[in-house]
Chains A and B, each alone.
Chain A
Amino acid sequence: MAQLNIEQASVGYDVQGIQEFLNNLNLNVIDALTQKINDSMSTLREATDEVWVGQAADAFKAKLERDSRTMIETLNGIEDDVRGQFAQIAKNVDNYDQALADDISSME
């Protein structure tokens, strides 16, 4: 049987390819960004303490923490959303594919 690929398809997805895309997105971008943000907070606080003291400095450090939490929470939300959406797309395609197969079988 000839090797199948989706390059000539107008609508479709490759299960393994989707998984690879999601893994790449997760590991190489979302996880990497989250790790970098978490790892950098102490460095940025120390850099702030080296050159800045007082209430304004404390307020700036609080902003750093707040912004880092916003970033991480939003990135995690994006990841959850993309996984959920592709799971739903895959499920719908599988359902229609099965319906087509059932219809074809009934015609034979």
Chain B
Amino acid sequence: MSIKNLAGNVVSNVRHTLEGGIQGISARLQNLLGGATANLQTLWDGGFVGINENPETLVNALTTYINELQQIVDGFKEDAVIEGALQGDAKVAAQQYVKAIKSLLDAYTTTYKSFIDLLENKAVVSMKSGDVENAQSIMSDAQDIIQDANNIRID
């Protein structure tokens, strides 16, 4: 057998191993992320009894927190690092991991962005001021949104 053929066999075997590894990675990541993202995307439905009319402090704190988390992920320039270190299927594997982390963060921040939207829609203010009918209408709409969101499958 020529050295060229031997080298070809090595490449073929390595690719088969890497492909098997990639498939395993995807399945394991799916298992790891599936339960986590489902829990993280459960939107707030505990009501707002006892909250101030102007919960600006909480809105600002949550907004800052979400933005800071996003900045960490956005600041990771993985393409440059991967390009110089990995080729073929190994590169795909690395990119999958980064995508998994970003998906996880999206699931986490989506929940709290929606919560901020509820606060900023003044549903809480209406309830506090006694405008019961308006508050009930807003909360009903919010509950519909929550139900629809919770029914969405996360791929």
Complex contacts, B98 vs chain A, CB 8 Å: 25, 29
What DSSP secondary structure best describes chain B's contact surface? helix
Considering only CB atoms, which chain B residue lies closest to A82 in the complex?
A: B97
**Inter-chain contact B87/A107, CB cutoff 8 Å:** no
Chain A residues with CB below 8 A from B69, complex form: 33, 36-37
| Residues in B whose Cβ lies below 8 Å from that of A18 | 85-86, 90
Q: Do A81 and B82 form a contact, CB below 8 Å, given A10-B87, A29-B73?
A: no
**Cβ contacts under 8 Å, A7 to chain B:** 84, 87
Say which one of B11-19, B131-139, B143-151 lies at the interface with A. Answer: B11-19
Tell whether A74 pairs with B88 under 8 Å between CB atoms, given A25-B76, A56-B50, A67-B39.
no
| A4: interface (CB < 8 Å) | no
Given the known interface contacts A75-B104, A81-B32, A107-B3, the answer about A13 and B86 at a Cβ–Cβ threshold of 8 Å is yes
Name which residue of chain A comes closest to B50, CB basis: A54
Binary per-residue interface labels of chain B (49-70) against chain A in the complex, 1 for a CB within 8 Å, 0 otherwise: 1111011111011100100110
Residue pair B87, A56 in contact (C-beta under 8 Å): no
User: Nearest B residue to A77 by beta-carbon distance?
Assistant: B32
Bound-complex Cα distance A25 to B60 (A): 29
Residues of B in contact (CB 8 Å), total 65
CA distance A72 to B48 in the complex (A): 27
Interface size on A, residues (CB 8 A): 62
CA distance A78 to B68 in the complex (A): 21
In Å, the complex CA distance between A50 and B46 comes to 18
Chain B hits for A92, CB < 8 A: 14, 17-18, 21
Known: A51-B51, A56-B47, A67-B40; 8 extra A-B contacts, CB below 8 A, are: A21-B82, A21-B94, A40-B68, A52-B52, A63-B44, A71-B40, A85-B93, A104-B3
Binding site for A on B (CB under 8 A): 1, 3, 6-7, 9-11, 13-15, 17-18, 21, 24-25, 28-29, 32-33, 36, 39-40, 44, 46-52, 54-58, 60-62, 65, 68-69, 72-73, 75-76, 78, 81-82, 84-90, 93-94, 97-98, 100-101, 104-105, 108, 111
A-B contact pairs, 16 of them (CB 8 A): A10-B88, A11-B89, A12-B88, A14-B86, A20-B85, A24-B81, A28-B76, A29-B101, A33-B105, A37-B69, A51-B51, A51-B55, A52-B51, A55-B49, A71-B104, A92-B14
